[in-house]
């Protein structure tokens, strides 16, 4: 009987180590899944910010194109200032924060961009808008970004296009 007791010593320790290792593996797996879920949610938020920036660029361009006669993007109107998201822009200045109109063939192409960091928006979302007027046709392209930092690996771009 005494020999049998000595052979069972350490069995409880083996069970405790096995259970602890299993629990540690489960905890590691759950934390990995939670981290991936958080990254996925953050990507969705960044995508939404970029889309809303692009939408704001479209709305601004449509306002300045349709509300005035002649349009602020017409080739006959030079140096015409516009204001988007509290940023005043005039022709001839580089992007962002300005408009720049060039003639290519029979089309007038205006480009402008601005940073959307005013009001209750805590992000530095950027938008670049390209307005192309060719005769009676107008194409407005707006590219929104969740951040202005071009070296940020998590930078997201979303685009919206309107033709009329």
Res 98 pLDDT > 60 = no
User: In the sheet where 157-163 sits, what is the strand order?
Assistant: 99-104, 107-116, 125-134, 137-145, 157-163
8 A C-beta contact, residue 60 and residue 129: yes
Q: Tell me the chain's radius of gyration from C-alpha atoms.
A: 29
pLDDT at residue number 142: 93
pLDDT level of residue 3 (50, 70, 90 thresholds): low
Please state, in angstroms and rounded to a whole number, the distance separating the CA atoms of residues 4 and 107: 96
Res 65 pLDDT > 50 = yes
pLDDT at residue number 68: 74
Express as a percent the part of the chain with pLDDT over 90.
Answer: 21
- What the block records as the tokens of 128 is 């670049």
**Residue found under tokens 């000595």:** 6
Calculate mean pLDDT across residues 80-107.
60
pLDDT level of residue 5 (50, 70, 90 thresholds): low
Query: Taking the domains of the chain in order of start, what are their residue ranges?
Result: 33-163
What are residue 128's DSSP bridge partners?
A: 113, 143
Please state, in angstroms and rounded to a whole number, the distance separating the CA atoms of residues 86 and 102: 24
pTM (two decimals): 0.69
Express as a percent the part of the chain with pLDDT over 70.
Answer: 76
Dihedrals phi, psi of 52, to nearest 5 degrees: -65, -30
- What the block records as the tokens of 51 is 């889309």
Instruction: Give the pLDDT confidence of 102-157 residue by residue, as tens digits.
Output: 666 677 788 888 887 766 656 788 888 888 888 788 899 999 998 888 888 888 89
């Amino acid at each position: 009987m005494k020999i049998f007791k000595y052979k069972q010593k350490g069995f409880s320790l083996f069970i405790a180590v096995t259970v602890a290792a299993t629990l540690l593996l489960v905890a590691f797996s759950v934390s990995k899944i939670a981290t991936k879920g958080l990254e996925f949610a953050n990507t969705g938020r960044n995508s939404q910010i970029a889309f809303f920036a692009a939408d704001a660029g479209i709305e601004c361009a449509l306002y300045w194109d349709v509300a005035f006669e002649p349009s602020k993007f017409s080739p006959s109107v030079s140096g015409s200032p516009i204001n988007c998201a509290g940023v005043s822009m005039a022709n001839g200045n580089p992007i962002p924060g300005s408009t720049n109109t060039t003639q290519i063939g029979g089309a007038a192409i205006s480009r402008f961009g601005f940073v959307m960091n005013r009001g209750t928006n805590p992000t530095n979302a950027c938008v670049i808008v390209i307005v192309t007027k060719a005769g009676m046709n107008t194409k407005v392209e707006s590219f929104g970004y969740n951040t202005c930092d071009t070296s940020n690996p998590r930078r997201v771009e979303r685009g919206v296009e309107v033709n009329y």
